[in-house]
Structure 1
């Protein structure tokens, strides 16, 4: 298939993804403990609803839908970068420990750094980023050798080890915390969309707006890093510098997402794989599709999960894992 044909196919798939997101968001705005009929959605959106309808839509459901969509996009972006940088199809911020590092930082920040509510919302992604960056740095350090450079397989194995160790640290933190605060951390671990309010959207949105264009700007670099190191060095690429910059971008995307949605894995694994199968391995083509798919995957997981069981539903992280774990095993056996 020629490049122009792939671009046309990409645009068609992006349009389909957009329609899927709109349909799922519409269903999500209507479904719930307090139902809102489809014929009332448009009037309520344009300010013609009752007090109850306005509260249900604008204070409960719409913020949750937007935050879920943005977080899924950020996780898919992170997974796309990590898979290209490490040349490993199993790389995902949830699997290799980055999300766990962010989680420990969020738990420590929440428990031991008392701060007013207004600042807490905007400081949380930063705290998660610091924890995730420290974890990614250690994983990179243990996976790198002077003779062979970064070993992709080793990076995944080291990341899984760090993820298990950080899970143990999280248990220790929980055991020493107050009962009232343990509930928040437990919800975070299960991947419950807890930051479903407008201030969390304003805290997450700048990260997504900044990181997606930056990644697309670096798409050619990602293509070169996806080749073997000799080829990348041969075309004059400063491989370690570019790799470190892109890993920081991936860490920032994952940390900003999980700081408000909790420990959600596998979105960053599945979305890039599906998009590569649809439009091919070139980063400029598959990353936009992966971002849209990631947003839709997390949105539909949360929409189905919160309406499946009364009253609180099933956390989105668990719903995604029900699909992601078998997919991960399939990839593991295949690769």
Structure 2
């Protein structure tokens, strides 16, 4: 599809604005915390001319955490964009419809009942999370699917919310029989605490993001066609169910990899696509890149606020996102009922 020059210029401007906002948030976050890094020393520290303490705080504590939050936010936003396109449902989000909870249950089972090798744990987590999320997605898809009708949007959301609640309940049951250290992990995951904050977790997830983001952008026009109608898809020679399956797998992979290291974070995949559509329109080639960037910035901002809002303790990023996202979800739900 041809994109008008004026729309392309607007898209480029918004793209640059979000990149600038993300960069500013990173710079602000680098300088604040229990150990305040002087902004005058940031560049020398980056160049290896800072003190040992400055370099340790910057390279081993703050940068890997920011990398994880940005990558995870991007993955959740892209996953939500795919789901909304596949289901033709503006309320679809991997957290709301239970995919994230499925990943969380799988990670919890791994953490509680399987021997953990510290060398392979960080690389195994995304795979186990993907398996749990995929099983959940398949259950939701088949329960909400009707022959000759496809997936019913409201039914899918309601089933997803119900299954998400059930899986969260299952995690609480597992907490009741686990030892204290593992209970701490599960409880932190449930509230959306960013816990995989080492470079090894960044390296475990980064390759998947590098592969899946370009793939989804390549399939943007496929999503455009799927959103039109089944008849249109067939008329252009598209195997609609095959394409839906490929994109669903990509969505599940993105969300599961993200929550495997950030915990149960909802609403990023709901809000980012909506904000992007409001800015650049509904064409997937335009709004998906913006949505992906917005997702990374939103989660980074939420984590930064959560870490530094209270002087004596931190608030999980998932709670900060939910405070903003829950009212937005209610607004969209009421809007879709009209």
Structure 2 counterpart SS, 1:309: coil
Runs of 4+ in 1 over 3 A off after TM superposition: none
Structure 1 match to 2:314? 313
Q: Give TM-score scaled by structure 2 length.
A: 0.97
Separation of aligned partners in 2, 1:240 and 1:27: 46
Matched, 1:38 2:49: no
Structure 2 match to 1:180? 181
Q: CA deviation at 1:234?
A: 2.8
Q: CA deviation at 1:257?
A: 0.3
Q: CA deviation at 1:180?
A: 1.3
Structure 2 match to 1:262? 263
Separation of aligned partners in 1, 2:310 and 2:105: 29
Separation of aligned partners in 2, 1:333 and 1:254: 26
Structure 1 counterpart SS, 2:119: helix
Structure 2 match to 1:243? 244
Separation of aligned partners in 1, 2:185 and 2:283: 40
Deviations 1:12-62 (A, max 9, x none): 111111101110000111010100111111111110110110111111111
Unaligned runs of 5+ in 2: none
Q: CA deviation at 1:99?
A: 0.3
Structure 2 counterpart SS, 1:226: helix
Deviates more, 1:217-226 or 1:87-96: 217-226
Deviates more, 1:305-314 or 1:63-72: 305-314
Q: Give TM-score scaled by structure 1 length.
A: 0.98
Structure 2 match to 1:212? 213
Deviations 1:135-155 (A, max 9, x none): 001111111122212222221
Structure 2 match to 1:52? 53
Separation of aligned partners in 2, 1:68 and 1:311: 22
Deviations 1:68-102 (A, max 9, x none): 00000000000000000000000000000000000
Structure 2 match to 1:123? 124
Residue 284 and residue 38 in structure 1: after superposition, are their counterparts in 2 closer, same or farther (change >3 A)?
same
Deviates more, 1:231-240 or 1:182-191: 231-240
Separation of aligned partners in 1, 2:82 and 2:223: 7
Structure 2 match to 1:10? 11
Structure 2 match to 1:90? 91
Deviations 1:281-300 (A, max 9, x none): 01111000000000000001
Separation of aligned partners in 2, 1:158 and 1:100: 13
**Is the 8 Å Cα contact of residues 18 and 294 (structure 2) preserved in structure 1?**
yes
Matches within 5 A, 1:1-335: 3-335=4-336
Separation of aligned partners in 1, 2:134 and 2:3: 39
Separation of aligned partners in 2, 1:230 and 1:24: 46
Q: CA deviation at 1:2?
A: 6.3
Structure 1 counterpart SS, 2:116: coil
